[in-house]
């Protein structure tokens, strides 16, 4: 409900990362850091329906991951409903919780009918540059494959033994 979202956004314990397009909010992630426990709870993540499936959710999440890494917090937890599970799995979340229950039990809000999921961050990764790095790596690998293929393109003469009447040849004799 709008009242619940408003309460969380204006609660001093929560922070919100907003996505603005053409001076209008089109999405956001509301989260609560638990630095002493080593995790951030994502309370909600939303992109307006007309702007979904355009990469904005990934953009938001990558900025939150970079923020979290700067704070030296390496874990995200959230309760996701069945409609959000696919999005979160694409963002690296899993149902395998790699934090001890004592680290989060009693700290985060539990939601009935939702699944607790976890994402572990890697300190050396700049998530907002991740797509560019992968794209560049792909280009480099393609170029290396092309170079290797050109080095290997040697044309061998055909096998003439069968034209000369042989019915069988050894594999070792084939260049």
Active site residues: 41
Strand order from edge to edge, sheet including 15-21: 15-21, 24-34, 39-47, 75-80, 115-120
Helix (H, G, I), strand (E, B) or coil at 120: strand
Beta strands in 55-167 (DSSP E): 75-80, 115-120
- 16-20's contacts with Cβ under 8 Å and 24+ in sequence apart are 17/60, 17/63, 17/64, 17/67, 19/47, 19/56, 19/59, 19/60
Please give the DSSP secondary-structure letter assigned to residue 99.
S
* 38: its two tokens: 């080593």
* Sign of the torsion formed by the C-alpha atoms of 21, 27, 32 and 37: negative
């Amino acid at each position: 409900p709008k009242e619940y979202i408003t309460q969380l956004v204006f609660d001093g314990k929560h922070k919100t990362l907003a996505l603005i397009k053409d001076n209008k909010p089109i999405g956001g992630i509301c989260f609560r850091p638990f630095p002493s426990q080593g995790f951030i709870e994502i309370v909600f993540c939303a992109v307006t329906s007309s702007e979904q499936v355009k990469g904005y959710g990934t953009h938001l999440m990558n900025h939150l991951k970079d923020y979290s890494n700067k704070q030296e917090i390496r874990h995200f937890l959230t309760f996701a409903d069945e409609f959000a599970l696919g999005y979160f799995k694409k963002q690296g979340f899993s149902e395998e919780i790699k934090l001890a229950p004592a680290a989060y039990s009693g700290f985060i809000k539990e939601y009935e009918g939702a699944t607790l999921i976890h994402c572990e961050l890697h300190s050396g990764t700049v998530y907002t540059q991740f797509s560019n790095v992968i794209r560049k790596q792909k280009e480099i690998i393609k170029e290396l494959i092309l170079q290797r293929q050109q080095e290997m393109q040697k044309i061998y003469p055909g096998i003439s033994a069968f034209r000369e009447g042989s019915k069988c040849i050894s594999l070792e004799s084939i260049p």
